[in-house]
Each structure stands twice: as structure tokens, then as C-alpha cells.
Homo-oligomer: A and B are copies of this chain.
Amino acid sequence: MKSVPQPTIERLIVYYRYLEKIAHFDEIEVISSHQLGQSVGASAAKVRKDLSYFGEFGCKGVGYDVKNLKKRLGEILGFNNIWSMILVGTGNLGRALVNYQEFVRMGLHFAGIFDCDLSKIGNRVGELVVKSNHEIKEVVQKREIKIAVMAVPASEAHQVGKSLVDAGIKAIWNFAPVPLKWYNLKKYN
């Protein structure tokens, strides 16, 4: 039982989204690793390798059945279930995330929201009331929550992240700003 590389997991999500997007078009029933890779910016070999960690989903000489692959990836990623998450940080960004449609599409919803700022505790955001960060562990364990969304200042991200893992959180979605790719930055001399 070898663990799956983190980049693979992230790409699986990207593949899933693309398949979701094209599954509506009935004329596209089958997609090759080359086409899928091309569409999301990965090589065909990478697509096949990524999928191979979880089983065999394709048909040699043919490709992958779009609807089936979408379903299987959804199962692997847990997007077919409804998952509860918590939100930590209820600033501008955090409050926007409570209403973020991307999460809804993935079957994710917020079961609790937290802040360390006393002036925010007790406020309402949508249907939820902001609780103190100190209550995170209790809520996570009682409700068996596995996923957390972080929207705290970057300087607090590491510390909050550690406490989330300590509370039993298995996946953290981080919205502290980190650049996707800083192109062309070369070694100075």
C-alpha cells in the first residue's frame, strides 16, 4: 500500500472537473489520455500514471469512458458524498468562501466557522455563528470532520495548520496567497 503522490491528487481533481464539464455533451463519450492531458495541461503519460495508482479505468486502443471515469474519480475523491468542512478565519476572504459555489459543486459544505478574533466570535455569517478557535478540536471530533478551509493571514497559516492536524483534520484547503507559479525567476549571481 504505497501512498499516492500529492501532485497526483491535485491533478485528479483537475481531471474530475474537466470531465464534469464535458460529461454534458453527449457526443463526447470517450476520451484518450492524450486528449484529457492536453485539455488540462498535463502529458498523456502523466494522466495514465496518475490513474494507475487507483486501478484500471480505460480500455486499450480506445480510451476512457467519460461518464464512467468521472464517476470513478468522484468516488476516489469523495465528491459523490456530501462532506462537512470547517472554516477557520472569517475575514473578507473567509466570508466570501462561505458562499463559494465551487464548494457546493464538489459536495462540500460548512458545518462550523471559527476565528481567533474576539470581536468576530458570535457574529453570524450566513446561517452559521462564528466560534472561537479553541472550540475547533471539540467540534471536529464530535462531528468527525475531516476537511478544513483556512482563510487566515499568511503569518498564522502554519500555526493554525498544525492545530487542525492535531484536531484530526485530514485535508486542508489553504487560501493564504501562494503563487501558483512564478515564471522565469532565475538564479541571481
Residues of A at under 8 Å CB distance from B?
1-4, 6, 9-10, 13-14, 17-18, 20-21, 39-41, 53-55, 76, 91-93, 95-97, 99-103, 149-150, 153-155, 158, 161-162, 165, 170-189
Contact = CB atoms under 8 A, between A and B. Distances in A.
A71 to B, nearest CB: 15
A174 B180 contact: yes
A13 B178 contact: yes
Contacts of A173: 177-180
Given A6-B182, A14-B158, A102-B153, 18 more contacts: A1-B187, A2-B186, A3-B184, A3-B185, A9-B179, A9-B185, A10-B178, A18-B155, A54-B188, A93-B93, A102-B154, A149-B177, A171-B182, A172-B181, A173-B180, A174-B180, A175-B175, A175-B177
B186 A170 contact: no
A183 B18 CA distance: 24
